[in-house]
């Protein structure tokens, strides 16, 4: 079997320090967690940013700039994967659902990808889901996806397609047909989010069966399903993801001291099942990436 690429999603948008006080929040903390994760065996770090004062999710370009600058100035080679998920949320106002509540973040595709265009990571996520998620509706409509994809490709960046349900994979196949998406593609199968695919072997097998031939894929499970689904993804021939975006626990009742510990445990699981974890160079080769120049 080819080496398994391990990604680490270091902070995300929904986890808070109330869940785990070790969650990275500032740009320095986020960059340091990425570096620590790679030293334990991750090849890719999936990056959101937050407001350093409040800890709340942010789309501020200045925070992305600082995180990326710190990583690139370090002596640690890693594949940077910036999120483009923020900016897709609509929250209806009580009593007037046609009016957006103050917590709505629904934004034009140009804003959702401005940090990718400027910073040119090797990878960025491209969400294909439209669903109810965490108190609001996530809306990724085809016209917006097409603009985002064009900007991503023009920046020389590889999109990682985050799919939460089987309909998202059908949408991806249609976007391949009309030329919006280009093979070979990288899919991230998101398992265990409410109203999406279940964290079960059966659901993962079904999703895998729908992927286009020649695509690379990875999967992860949310919350308590993180390590069981990591093992399932490996056993079914996929790549794996872990991180404090997905779980704040290292074991039942034991909060993780950071992302590095989650990565270390994941490497142990993959190796105990007979696998080999890909180096950064091997991950680039598998995904057809070129060494970054930024």
Residue 294 in domain = no
CA dist 71 and 133 (Å) reads 31
CA dist 227 and 221 (Å) reads 7
- The whole-number pLDDT of residue 293 equals 46
Beta bridge partners of 255: 249
Residue 92 in domain = yes
Domain that holds residue 194: 6-287
Residue 203 in domain = yes
Residue 189 in domain = yes
Beta bridge partners of 190: 220
| pLDDT tens-digit profile, the chain (294 residues) | 799 999 999 999 999 999 999 999 999 999 999 999 999 999 999 999 999 999 999 999 999 999 999 999 999 999 999 999 999 999 999 999 999 999 999 999 999 999 999 999 999 999 999 999 988 999 999 999 999 999 999 999 999 999 999 999 999 999 999 999 999 999 999 999 999 999 999 999 999 999 999 999 999 999 999 999 999 999 999 999 999 999 999 999 999 999 999 999 999 999 999 999 999 999 999 999 975 444
Burial of 169 (0-12, 13-18, 19+ CB in 10 A): buried
Domain count, the chain: 1
Residue 1 in domain = no
Cα dihedral value 137, 138, 143, 147, nearest 10: 150
Residue 113 in domain = yes
- The whole-number pLDDT of residue 134 equals 85
Phi-psi region of 36 (alpha: psi -120 to 50; beta: other; left: phi over 0): alpha
206 contacts: CB under 8 Å, gap ≥ 6: 166
Residue 74 in domain = yes
Tokens standing for residue 239:
């790549």
Residue 293 in domain = no
260 contacts: CB under 8 Å, gap ≥ 6: 33, 36, 37, 39, 40
Write the CATH number for 153. 3.20.20.70
């Amino acid at each position: 079997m080819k080496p398994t690429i391990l990604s680490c999603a270091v902070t995300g948008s929904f986890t808070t320090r109330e869940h785990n006080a070790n969650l990275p929040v500032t740009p320095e903390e986020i960059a340091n967690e990425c570096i620590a994760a790679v030293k334990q065996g991750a090849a890719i770090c999936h990056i959101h940013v937050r407001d350093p004062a409040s800890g709340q999710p942010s789309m501020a370009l200045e925070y992305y700039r600082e995180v990326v600058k710190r990583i690139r100035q370090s002596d640690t080679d890693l594949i940077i994967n910036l999120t483009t998920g923020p900016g897709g949320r609509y929250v209806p106002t009580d009593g007037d659902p046609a009016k957006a509540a103050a917590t709505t973040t629904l934004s034009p595709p140009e804003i959702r990808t401005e940090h990718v265009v400027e910073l040119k990571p090797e990878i960025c996520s491209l969400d294909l889901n439209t669903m109810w998620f965490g108190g609001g509706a996530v809306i990724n409509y085809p016209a917006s996806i097409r603009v985002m994809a064009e900007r991503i490709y023009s920046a020389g960046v590889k999109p990682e397609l985050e799919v939460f349900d089987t309909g998202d994979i059908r949408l991806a196949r249609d976007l391949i047909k009309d030329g919006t998406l280009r093979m070979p593609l990288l899919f991230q199968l998101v398992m265990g989010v409410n109203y999406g695919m279940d964290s079960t072997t059966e659901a993962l097998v079904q999703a895998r069966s729908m992927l286009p031939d020649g695509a690379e894929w990875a999967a992860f499970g949310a919350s308590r399903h993180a390590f069981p689904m990591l093992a399932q993804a490996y056993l079914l021939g996929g790549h794996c993801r872990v991180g404090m975006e997905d779980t704040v626990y290292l074991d039942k009742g034991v909060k993780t001291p950071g992302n590095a510990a989650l990565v270390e445990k994941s490497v142990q699981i993959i190796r105990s099942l007979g696998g080999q974890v890909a180096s950064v160079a091997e991950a680039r080769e598998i995904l057809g990436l070129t060494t970054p120049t930024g």
